[in-house]
Amino acid sequence: MKKTILTGIKPTGQVHLGNYMGAIKPALGLAQVQDYQAAYFVADYHALTKTHDAEEFRQLSYGIAATWLALGLDPEKAIFYRQSDVPEIFELNWVLSCFSPKGLMNRAHAYKSMVDSNQASGKDADLGVNMGLFNYPILMAADILMFKTDIVPVGKDQIQHVEIARDIAEHFNNNYGETFILPEYQIQEDTAVLPGLDGRKMSKSYHNTIPLFAESKNLQKLINKIKTDSLPPEAPKNPDESILFTLYKEFASPDEIAQMKLQYLSGIGWGEAKKELFNVMNNFLEEPREKYNELMSSPERIDAILKEGAEKARAVSSPFLKEIKNKVGFYA
């Protein structure tokens, strides 16, 4: 039997190149593995803990869905859905919450770091904390356990959440007998950590990102903002110390990379290096960007794809939820 590999992205911001290299690209690779059944979803209910503007919420949700599709996720092969279209997840969320020790939630890092920073600045500990944020790990456990997930590919910051899902599953299994599969997390150790405009890791919180589908003019502008030193154009440059070259390597062919390395060593102006970087990036992004824009201008097409995905998801979640409710004692 195929192993289920499941992951969700929550639509809380514009997808950037760092997200692509670090999370989406490896997940797309895993979806191709013969022994895996991929279940990838838009974690919209999770985003609701943060985004309270309806129009923004809608755009960001479609944006995540269109991103996956534009980059080549095949909805025929993967189960690709919107979390909120699968109500069984939400029902399971309640059942699981009755097996989730509150103390465990107190220690969950998203909540805890907010409390810590409130306390450090002398404010009320729970200032700005809604119950959605507090319950976040339980909903995530429901996402994972609902589909008998074997493997959850995630970033390091999500390890704790997968461990919480295992904990909750164990509490339930201990009480009612083997029901849930205990999921394993999988960290993508070998994926590139992309530098942002200032050379630090590209991250929304550093405001140094390049949006994945920036229009080419804007892409060029952003690349022009990348920090460089003041060496004159003819001076030899060390490619291994250049943000421009690190980025170039991610998008160019091996031949281009070898060529560019020589140009650095024999002296290339930063302006020229930026132009070359723009060319390879733009080349790589052109096609998915076009697909993305097409999809975003006809959201009904995205809806249709997600709806089909939700049907596939519910073919699994609906009977499993019945079985779970049966064990808990809802039916005769």
Which stretches of the chain bind ligand TRP, using CB under 6 A? 6-8, 10, 43, 46, 140, 143-144, 152, 154, 158, 161
CB 206, CB 196: distance < 8 Å: yes
Give φ, ψ of 79 to 5 degrees.
-90, 115
Dihedral, CA of residue 22, residue 9, residue 186 and residue 150, to nearest 10: -150
Cα distances from 314 to residues 80, 84, 286, 319, 320, in angstroms, run: 11, 12, 35, 8, 9
| Cβ closest to ligand TRP, residue 38 vs residue 115 | 38
- Residue 325 identity: K
| Cβ closest to ligand TRP, residue 79 vs residue 281 | 79
| Cβ closest to ligand TRP, residue 6 vs residue 65 | 6
| Cβ closest to ligand TRP, residue 156 vs residue 225 | 156
CB 258, CB 229: distance < 8 Å: no
- What's the chain's Rg over C-alpha atoms? 22
Cβ at position 184, least distance to ligand TRP in Å: 12
Cβ at position 158, least distance to ligand TRP in Å: 5
Burial 90-118 (b: 16+ CB within 10 A, else e): ebbbebbbebbeeeebeebeebeebbeeb
Cβ at position 89, least distance to ligand TRP in Å: 9
Cβ at position 50, least distance to ligand TRP in Å: 10
| Cβ closest to ligand TRP, residue 85 vs residue 143 | 143
Burial 133-159 (b: 16+ CB within 10 A, else e): bbbbbbbbbbbbbbbbbbbbbbeeebe
Q: Which two tokens stand for residue 31?
A: 């979806």
Cβ at position 154, least distance to ligand TRP in Å: 5
Cβ at position 157, least distance to ligand TRP in Å: 7
| Cβ closest to ligand TRP, residue 152 vs residue 247 | 152
* Chain residue whose CB lies nearest ligand TRP: 8
Max intra-chain CA distance, the chain: 82
| Cβ closest to ligand TRP, residue 159 vs residue 257 | 159
Cβ at position 4, least distance to ligand TRP in Å: 11
| Cβ closest to ligand TRP, residue 46 vs residue 237 | 46
Which stretches does DSSP call E strand in the chain? Answer: 3-9, 36-42, 79-82, 151-154, 184-187
Burial 250-270 (b: 16+ CB within 10 A, else e): bbbeeebbeebeebbeeebbb
Cβ at position 137, least distance to ligand TRP in Å: 8
| Cβ closest to ligand TRP, residue 66 vs residue 145 | 145
CB 61, CB 8: distance < 8 Å: no
Cβ at position 237, least distance to ligand TRP in Å: 36
